[in-house]
Amino acid sequence: MLHLASKSPRRRELLRMLGLDFGILDLDIPEHPAPGEPPEEYVRRVAREKAGAGLLKVVGQPDAVVLGADTEVILDGRIYGKPVDAADAANMLRSLSGRTHKVISALSMVSAGRELHAVSESEVTFASLSNTDIATYLGTGEWDGKAGAYAIQGMAQAFVSQLSGSHSGVMGLPLFETARLLREFGFFPATGAAMPQVEAAR
């Protein structure tokens, strides 16, 4: 059985789009970069830790497969995580205003005898945001709990002048890469369609 190791309602909604039944594992994994840890490695590590912690919770199920994911907004080598309050969110949005930032979503899918990984990288360009734009957006509450202080599936779509990559990846679960991992684990029949490469555990 498939389990999603995530508290995120958005990831649950996205995974349901693939038409599979799955369980939810509510985990509390620390999400803090280690000193000197590159953002890309941090995102991969957190996804692996979520999947590994989830597998420990269902270790009694011989057919259990756990999907862990992490998504981060990165600008100038800095990780823009979840804002602590509205003032922090406003500062993040000011930094992203009129610039192109990177969004990395890492996936880790594990079972008792197998582990595979995939990464989706997207570039998102924001239009220049006025103080009114930012204040209005903060009033929606969408920023709360979102990396980079915005939800691309909500009102923040009006800020995005260009997106290169995966819309679902920016939301938090890149469906193309997720489907590839699921296929590798036998949840979908094999097809001849071109699929992204997955990375076996080292």
Domain boundaries, given as residue ranges, for the chain: 2-200
The two three-digit tokens of residue 104, written as one number: 């990395």
Mean pLDDT of 16-36: 90
pTM of the predicted model, to two decimals?
0.88
Helix (H, G, I), strand (E, B) or coil at 156: helix
Which pLDDT value is given to residue 189?
64
Mean pLDDT of 17-26: 93
Mean pLDDT, the chain, rounded, equals 92
Q: Could you tell me the maximum CA-CA distance found in the chain, to the nearest angstrom? A: 54
Cα–Cα distance measured from residue 199 to residue 117, given in angstroms and rounded to the nearest whole number: 5
Q: Give the amino acid at 21.
A: D
Identify the band that residue 107 occupies on the pLDDT scale cut at 50, 70 and 90: very high
Just give the CATH number of 2-200: 3.90.950.10
Which pLDDT value is given to residue 196?
45
- Range of lowest pLDDT (11-15, 28-32, 89-93, 107-111): 28-32
Identify the band that residue 29 occupies on the pLDDT scale cut at 50, 70 and 90: confident
Rounded to the nearest 10°, the torsion over CA 45, 48, 49, 51 is 160
Mean pLDDT of 172-198: 77
Mean pLDDT of 25-30: 86
Active-site positions?
70
Cα–Cα distance measured from residue 13 to residue 117, given in angstroms and rounded to the nearest whole number: 21
Using an 8 Å Cβ cutoff, are 176 and 193 in contact? no
User: Which tens digits make up the pLDDT trace of 162-184?
Assistant: 999 999 999 999 999 999 999 99
